[in-house]
Chain A
Amino acid sequence: MRIHIKGGRLIDPANGIDAQHDLYIADGEVVAIDQTPDGFGADQVIDASDQIVIPGLVDLNARLREPGQEHKATIASETRAAAAGGITTLCVQPDTDPIIDTPAVSELIHHRARQAGYARVVTLGALTLQLQGEHLSEMEELMREGGCIAVSNALNPLNNTLVYRRALEYAANFDLTVFIYANDPWLSNKGCAHEGAISTRLGLPGIPESAETVAVARDLMLIEQTGVRAHFMHLSCAQSIQKITRARHDNLPVSIDVAAHQLYLTEMDLGDFNSACHVIPPLRTQRDKDGLRAGLGSGTINAISSCHQPHDADAKLAPFCETDPGISALETLLPLTLRLAEEKVLSLSEAIARITSEPARILGIDGGRLGVGDRADVCIFDPQERWTVDYNTLASCGKNTPFLGWEMQGRVSQTLLAGQSVYQVNQ
């Protein structure tokens, strides 16, 4: 399949490109930019005039619910939703059922994703057996046989700091990045909302800022001691970013992502117990939101993730604390990121980098770039098109988003996965 993407504004932050360029694709790769290769005859010409062509998005954090919770969503349904959102690579956490602590589970996920064919799925292996924080998982085998590209204990706590230390050391042994959810479970204390003025008023058990910052401080010390490469997932507090900024000055190999919704919503959005805003980590304060945005602007925060967690309708139909936390977010990742450029938090190219080249670099995978010889994972979107997030038109099985009714600007018109069209608007 040979494709000529014609007349689009190509933004490829990894290669420092932001200009109108033609893209030539053959056999799943970018074979030329602007100059038609000798003997190239396009099977398909995509007119990208007035559109923006970027590398397919790489999402660091998404739950697909398969295996284990297929009543909520499946790998096929969610990778299809990812394609609709311009995402071509998804990274899934090991907290599936069964847990990804054997190569077989990882292989199953890869197999199902290949079968569906909408997006690439990469897996994180469990850092500890059954994510219970007691015994190390067979990380080398997970990597070698299961194709896991990094390890994580997902949202499960590692209470025993000795086991934690050993796990980090062991991961470092294989040069595996450890994905960390910074949370002190004792301080979180079964809370369901940010501990602040709103949770106090609503009488909701609060999760204090210290639940995250204390964990970040501890984790940084262990990272320094063990020399492991670490990635902090979906941080929510401005103070966490400050601490990691200081650690970066000491050359600690740490990266950070934030969930897109944390850049737009705050504790105030809980309103009258709006369960669509029940997320973990919780929506924090305006000051935290501003701090996260500043961290993006300064470059401390490397990536923006969807933190996609699709739920069935019943999961959100209960009193606030009894609902399942999480937002269905694959299809809003791109427009929310584009809005950051609109709001001058980042340049457009910097914003695109946070959802393409930077997450690919953190995962250590090929992707997130569109230079000659790179795989042709492409997202083409119309930057002017406005659309409303609507229950009936979301492709994800999960309709649990607080952005329902929000008007977004920038809509994916086509997504290519290794040169194959996997999504086309209105088809």
Chain B
Amino acid sequence: MPDLDTGHLFLTTLAPIKPGAPVDDLQTSHVQLARIALAKLPTAHQSPATNDTKYNSPFARNQRNHLARMFVLEDVVYNGRNTQNPILARIEGNDQTKPQPVDRLNAPYLVFCADIDAITQDGDPLPTNLTAEAQQDVRKSYARKLWDTMEEELTEIYSNCYGFETVKTADQFADYLDRCHVETTMPFHDYYLELPKFHNLPFKTLLYGVLAPLVVGLLALVLWLIGVSDVPLLGWSTLATWIIAIALGLLLAYGAIRFALWNGEKPLPPGKYDDLPSVLKALYVQQKMSDLYVDNQGASDQDLYDAFGKFIEEHKPYDRKSMTQTPGVISSESPKNVTP
């Protein structure tokens, strides 16, 4: 499964953390410094407890993140030795009292995962499919956006990673993060409002397409085995017919499997209104609409009509860019949480 699905990019990057400690602070290792930088990073105003804190998550400074997460991956978890049937082990001369080698990571890693809109310009519609190069462009565009909005925080975190010393500009950071990129194998995303047309497999077509030459080949084989040398009516050689037909059937079967895999790998189309600006606008409109409803309970038709007109004018439901909830907050109640 690739990084791209439902018009979102499921970005995963792993940056190896340097061993030891910086020469000017030998007391605190790079792993520790990375952890401290992460611990100091403010969370979004995403719960009543954090609603009133002074600082918001730096990821809320752009309009592309649905979710972002950074953590230190110390090592892989070790699940114990590979067990073997003792009798087999004895026969193979495998001494089970001897410790086996243990798989380890070569360094601790800073993991950065993000679920982002797969676009290169703010406001673009979500794409249904992108080439590998276009996906790289999306990643780089996103990295530049991060650099422009949170350079200070990124520098504090990533300066503990290998190879970050040369990163001084947005473009260099984009290249750096791209080197750290690994393919995401299991993206998670939200539900569709309306089910789109999925890439259903034309199962019957594939089945019959593969079976037809195979059946012809088998029939010709039977004829050939009982000594008939020519196919009745057509007059083809039975030997040539069964060989060619069965070979064709196997070739088509292989092609069908490849087609099924390729079809399965195609990204799912984006959901309607699934980009971040639409989500934020929807959250905003939903809250304001509830207020409108409450305020106009029992109002006359004319008053309701006027109020609704005012509502459209004030809250601009058709415009995703203005009068919308800012990223990283849970409510549009306070004016400071609204982008005018």
Note whether A and B form a binding pair.
Answer: no
Residues of chain A whose beta carbon lies under 8 Å from any beta carbon of chain B: none
Residues of chain B whose beta carbon lies under 8 Å from any beta carbon of chain A: none
